[in-house]
Chains A and B, each alone.
Chain A
Amino acid sequence: MSEVAIRISGVCKRYGSLQALDHVDLEVRRGEFFGLLGPNGAGKTTLISSLSGLVRPDAGTLEVMGHDVVTDYRNARRNLGVVPQELVFDPFFSVRELLRIQSGYFGIRRNDAWIDEILEGLNLTAKANQNMRALSGGMKRRVLVAQALVHRPPVIVLDEPTAGVDVELRQGLWHFVRKLNTDGHTIVLTTHYLEEAQELCGRIAMLKGGRIVALDTTANLLRRFASHSLKVRVERPEVAVALGGTLTNDERVEFDFGGFDDVEPLLARLRAAEAGVTGLEIGEPDLERVFLEVINRA
């Protein structure tokens, strides 16, 4: 079997006059932990929905594990698990009932052993017999993850799974997803928490206005785009700002620099301008900065 888990070529989608997806090409290899980032309205959810068959693109083709999502939709969907962005649930059923029903939709009977395993992994065992309505938002989110896994899909797509979820739960979820990845599942993730994306994703695509504006390994993106930053605490911030720095919310002034050779001249200029440096810190490149840079340039 081919090494490609997801193949997206030339996908376009228009809503009225809005071009939600504009010739998107993308390949995700099997076993990757892939990040799909972009500002609100970039088209991430539309792209994911095109993959899952909820949206019909105007042009282009999409494949999951080699199966076209239109002409071979049954196989494509068997291979795909999607955790939707919206916190949706069916209020008529308990967690376990829901997971049994979802298994059934995928043609699977007697799936309880696997369901128990998922419930355990997501810390939902105690809630198994509760009605969906009785669960908190974070619990409902975990049930959505569980629902996406009932048919053991080799490819799992999570659309902002941690939006509105507290820190502890988020970490539990990442731990679980990372384990799925090491077990061989291909993971595609969209999130607004860029530190988490940086930590988890091996490769990242950045989307803006329906177009891919950056696509590379996380390491390369950090190297290519991110300048380091120098944060100085100064007596006269206005002077430092006049030299090209930006004021941070903690009253420090931040400068970008490419290589370490640039640091000394910068400090010299600050001294010459009598900014009165009282403290300094050099920041590592982070995805947040790469993101801002890429998105603003695009």
Chain B
Amino acid sequence: MHDPAIRETPLVGFLTLLRKEVLRFQKVGFQTVLAPVLNAVLFMLIFSHVLDRHVTVYGDIGYTSFLVPGLIMMSVLQNAFANSSSSLIQSKITGNIIFVLLPPLSYREFFAAYVIAAVLRGLLVGLGVWLVALPFVELPMAHPLWVLGFAVLGGAILGTLGVVAGIWADKFDQLAAFQNFLIMPLTMLSGVFYSIHSLPEVWQQVSHFNPFFFMIDGFRYGFFGQSDTSPWLSFAVVAACLLLLSALTLAMLARGYKLRA
């Protein structure tokens, strides 16, 4: 049995890590997929019941219809973030992160696996919310590719933020702080619940500095064919954010920050 280490098949390492990350949330799917879907649906029922007759958004679109894409996107984003961040912090705290650090995986493979798994969980939850909402609201889908594109890009941005947060945080409360003071406000102030045209001029301007606004606006464009800004502008902003954030995160991983002491 002195044969040298077995030759590896390319990509198998990366695909295994990706599969492991997907299995990890699948095995507790009740908590990682069903619960967030239920959450979003409750939001939908309450908000639409209270506000449907009082708020007008774009001309003939009812408030509930307007709201649902925002809720779907919010679920995609939050769950993508939750997936990579909680997986990493759990692995760090329990110490089993070493099983990923000892094999010949590159930091790029590591990054890609965690982010793609995060996107998949985000999409799964988003799909769930959409399916549950369908019977209740009239929801067109004018441009499915924009819908998918913005969901993937937004999920990837939040998955990447989750990688950063999960590696940076040493304790769960630090992760919670990241979520409560950065992710939640940016999501809530991005136009999930309203069209920014209903805001005072100043806040409309401020919203344009929030990348989350462009994710949700572009996503909504995919459903209604109308939005607060051009989908191309949103796409450019969101793609640029993803590229910049990925580059920074890859640089952090290359240095081994907090993973390789």
Contact = CB atoms under 8 A, between A and B. Distances in A.
Contacts of A78: 5, 8, 104
A92 B27 contact: yes
A161 to B, nearest CB: 15
A74 to B, nearest CB: 4
Interface residues of B, number: 37
Contacts of B95: 84, 86, 88
Given A54-B261, A56-B256, A79-B4, A109 B9 contact: yes
A3 B99 CA distance: 28
Nearest to B103: A105
Best-surrounded residue of B13, B104, B106 (most CB of chain A within 10 A):
B104
Nearest to B261: A55
B210 interface: no
A56 B261 contact: yes
B10 A54 contact: no
Q: By DSSP majority rule, is chain A's interface helix, strand, loop, or mixed? A: loop
A152 B16 contact: no
Contacts of A80: 102
A151 B17 contact: no
B6 A151 contact: yes
A145 to B, nearest CB: 13
A82 interface: yes
Interface in B91-108: 91, 94-96, 98-106
A74 B104 contact: yes
Given A90-B96, A104-B15, A184-B2, A82 B102 contact: yes
A56 B260 contact: yes
B3 interface: yes
Interface in B48-92: 91
Given A152-B5, A154-B4, A88 B98 contact: yes
B32 to A, nearest CB: 12
Best-surrounded residue of A54, A75, A89, A105 (most CB of chain B within 10 A):
A105
B4 A102 contact: no
Best-surrounded residue of B13, B94, B96, B256 (most CB of chain A within 10 A):
B96
B99 A109 contact: no
Interface in B1-58: 1-10, 12-13, 15-17, 19-20, 23-24, 27-28
A61 interface: no
A107 B104 contact: yes
A73 B98 contact: no
Contacts of B94: 88-91
A110 B24 CA distance: 21
A153 interface: yes
Nearest to B23: A92
Contact of A105 (B16, B96, B260): B16
A77 interface: yes
Nearest to B259: A54
A224 B94 CA distance: 43
Q: By DSSP majority rule, is chain B's interface helix, strand, loop, or mixed? A: loop
Interface residues of A, number: 38
Interface in A104-128: 104-109
B19 to A, nearest CB: 8
A56 B260 CA distance: 6
A82 B10 CA distance: 23
Contacts of B105: 105
A202 interface: no
20 contacts: A54-B261, A55-B261, A73-B104, A75-B104, A77-B102, A77-B104, A79-B5, A88-B96, A88-B98, A89-B94, A91-B94, A102-B99, A104-B16, A106-B5, A106-B6, A106-B8, A107-B8, A108-B9, A109-B12, A154-B4
A153 B5 CA distance: 5
A147 interface: yes
Q: Closest 7 interchain pairs by CB?
A: A107-B8, A104-B16, A184-B2, A105-B103, A88-B95, A74-B104, A78-B5
A101 interface: yes
A281 interface: no
A106 B8 CA distance: 6
B5 A54 contact: no
Contacts of A184: 1-2
A104 B13 contact: yes
Interface string A88-100: 1111110000000
A53 interface: yes
Contact of B102 (A52, A56, A89, A101): A52
A184 B23 CA distance: 36
Interface in A63-80: 73-75, 77-80
B13 A106 contact: yes
Nearest to B87: A92
Contacts of B28: 92
A262 interface: no
A53 B6 contact: no
Nearest to A154: B4
B3 A54 contact: no
A183 interface: yes
A118 to B, nearest CB: 11
B36 to A, nearest CB: 19
